[in-house]
């Protein structure tokens, strides 16, 4: 009821305490379980190289001189595309994601870029047991070089080979 | 000033202060509620349970910072292959196919089937692979996606740059 000359009685205010209680419980729960990640994407195209349509040995030998490629196996990297380059980059010790020599691969890729300045594609051919972590690291290394502090684009269009 | 006069003056001051204060003070929590609600809204917006807290999907961390594209997403976890949140194939926990799961020259039929409907809407497929997944299973997924009609893959990674 309105009081004469006074303010209208609006009753008790909104009781926010239960809501606050729920929110106070939810916030720490989410903060404990959350991991903040900066996600990105690496683009790739997949020419499916299968046993069914594989080229013959002669064509492959010819291709290996012209096509920039990185094979990843249980011994390390095998780089193709330059006759003057030592193709084998072994792991530092037993091969594991941390022992693949990405620094040496980066150096080899820079040399390949100097020899193939217009090339944007690199064929990446991992064996079936190589962990995806290594494949992602090779795609990133092939994409650009940061050794000088500035980004130098190398081969930003990786083609992933799939062996059947 | 004698001590009695001082005591009386202090008592008077206290009485005056008590008169000024409200008789039934409530804790003012509106601002705090606002703040907590904003924090909660922020966390719920950026919380992605498909990545965060899933031990079977740990993304590789690499120094890239590339343009992001939208598209259907396939997760290659250590314990299964998930297409847009739906488990399609169960794996053995180490990224290998379980015995009895069908596989042919064009990858895994169950994955191909799940992706073929989505390939009509987008040519880009987002692929989020567990970092320990062997390339064999990733290759099978790519072969399946290729057969389903995708030709542009975007690998989701954790950016360290």
Give the tens place of pLDDT for each residue, B100-150: 888 888 889 999 999 988 888 888 899 999 999 999 999 899 889 988 888
Distance CA(A6)–CA(A81), nearest Å, equals 90
Residue A134 has pLDDT above 80, yes or no: yes
Q: Looking at the 3D structure of chain A, how many domains does it have?
A: 1
Whether residue B93 is found in the same domain as residue B138: yes
Residue B85 and residue B10 share a domain:
no
Would A125 be classed as within a structural domain?
yes
How many structural domains is chain B composed of?
2
Same domain, B42 and B85: no
**Which tops the pLDDT comparison, A55 or A93?**
A93
Residue A19 inside a domain? The answer is: no
**Closest partner residue to B146 among A41, A46, A72, by Cβ?**
A46
Of B159, B105, B141, B103, nearest to A46 by C-alpha is: B141
Same domain, yes or no, for B102 and B130? yes
Are B153 and B97 found together in one domain? Answer: yes
**Cβ atoms B108, B101 nearer than 8 A:** yes
- Stretch B33-49: mean pLDDT: 80
Going by pLDDT thresholds of 50, 70 and 90, the confidence category of residue B50 is low
Q: How confident is the model at residue A57 (pLDDT cuts 50, 70, 90)?
A: low
Min Cα distance A90 → chain B (Å) is 19
Does B125 map to a domain? yes
Assess whether B79 and B118 both reside in one domain. Answer: yes
pLDDT band at A1; cut points 50, 70, 90: very low
Residue B55 placed within a domain: no
CA distances from B50 to A39, B85, B122 (A): 13, 8, 21
Contact A34 B47 (CB under 8 A): yes
**Searching chain A, which residue's CA lies closest to the CA of residue B136?**
A128
The alpha carbon of residue B117 is apart from the nearest alpha carbon of chain A, in Å, by: 19
Interatomic CA distance for residues A107 and A154, integer angstroms: 11
> Can you give the pLDDT at residue B40?
84
Is residue B145 included in any domain, yes or no?
yes
Place of tokens 């003056």: B9
CB A41 within 8 A of CB B126: yes
Residue B28 within any structural domain of the chain: yes
Domain-embedded: residue A74? yes
Provide the residue range defining the domain that includes B34: 3-46
3-state secondary structure chain A: CCCCCCCCCCCCCCCCHHHHHHHHHHHHHHHHHCCCCCEEEEEEECCCCCHHHCCCHHHHHHHHHHCCEEEEECCEEEEECCCCCCCEEECCCCCCCCCCCHHHHHHHHHHHHHHCCCCCEEEEEECCCCEHHHHHHHHHHHHEECCCCCCEECCCEEEECCCC
Chain B residues with CB-CB distance to A35 below 8 A: 52-53
Same domain, B72 and B109: yes
What is the interface size between A and B, counted as CB pairs within 8 Å? 161
Cβ distance of A43 and B66 shorter than 8 Å: yes
Q: What is the DSSP letter of B73?
A: E
Measured between beta carbons, which residues in chain B are less than 8 angstroms from residue A74?
Answer: none
d(CA B74, CA B129): 8
Indicate if the pLDDT at residue A149 is higher than 90.
no
**Each residue's pLDDT tens digit, B63-81:** 877 777 788 899 999 889 9
Q: What is the pLDDT of residue A52?
A: 44
Average pLDDT over residues A28-48: 73
pLDDT band at A105 (very low <50, low <70, confident <90, very high): very high
Which of chain A's residues have a Cβ under 8 Å away from the Cβ of B105? 50-52, 164
pLDDT higher than 90, residue A133: yes
User: Would you state the pLDDT for residue B48?
Assistant: 66
* Higher-scoring residue by pLDDT: B158, A47: B158
Q: Which residue of B lies nearest to A161 if distances are taken between CA atoms?
A: B139
**Rounded percentage of chain B residues whose pLDDT exceeds 90:** 15
Looking at the domain assignment, is residue A83 inside a domain?
yes
Where is average pLDDT lowest: A87-96, B2-11, B109-118, B139-148? Answer: B2-11
Q: What are phi and psi for residue A85, nearest 5 degrees? A: -100, 135
For an interface test with A, give the residue of B41, B139, B140, B145 to mutate (most A CBs within 10 A).
B139
B107 with B142, same domain: the answer is yes
């Amino acid at each position: 009821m309105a009081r004469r000359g006074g303010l209208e009685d609006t009753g008790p205010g909104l009781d926010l305490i239960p809501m606050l209680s729920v929110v106070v419980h939810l916030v720490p729960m989410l903060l404990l379980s959350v991991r903040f990640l900066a996600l990105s994407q690496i683009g790739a195209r997949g020419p499916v190289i299968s046993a069914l349509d594989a080229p013959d040995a002669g064509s492959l030998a010819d291709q290996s001189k012209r096509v920039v490629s990185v094979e990843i196996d249980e011994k390390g990297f095998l780089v193709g595309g330059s006759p003057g380059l030592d193709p084998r980059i072994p792991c530092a010790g037993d091969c594991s994601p941390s022992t693949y020599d990405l620094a040496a691969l980066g150096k080899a890729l820079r040399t390949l870029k100097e020899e193939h300045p217009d090339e944007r594609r690199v064929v990446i051919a991992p064996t079936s047991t190589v962990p995806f972590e290594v494949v992602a690291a090779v795609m990133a290394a092939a994409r650009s070089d940061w050794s000088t502090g500035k980004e130098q684009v190398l081969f930003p269009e990786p083609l992933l080979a799939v062996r059947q | 000033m004698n001590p009695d006069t001082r005591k009386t003056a202090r008592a008077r001051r206290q009485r005056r202060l008590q008169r000024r204060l409200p008789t039934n003070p409530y804790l003012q929590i509106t601002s705090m509620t606002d703040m907590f609600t904003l924090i909660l809204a922020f966390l719920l917006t950026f919380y992605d349970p498909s990545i965060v807290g899933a031990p079977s999907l740990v993304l590789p961390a690499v120094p890239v910072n590339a343009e992001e594209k939208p598209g259907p997403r396939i997760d290659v976890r250590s314990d299964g292959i998930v297409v847009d949140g739906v488990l399609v194939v169960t794996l053995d926990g180490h990224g290998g196919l379980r015995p009895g799961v069908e596989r042919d020259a064009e990858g895994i039929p169950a994955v191909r089937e799940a992706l073929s409907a989505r390939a009509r809407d987008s040519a880009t497929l987002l692929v989020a692979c567990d970092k320990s997944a062997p390339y064999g299973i990733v290759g099978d997924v790519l072969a399946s996606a290729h057969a389903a009609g995708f030709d542009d893959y975007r690998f989701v990674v954790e950016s360290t740059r």
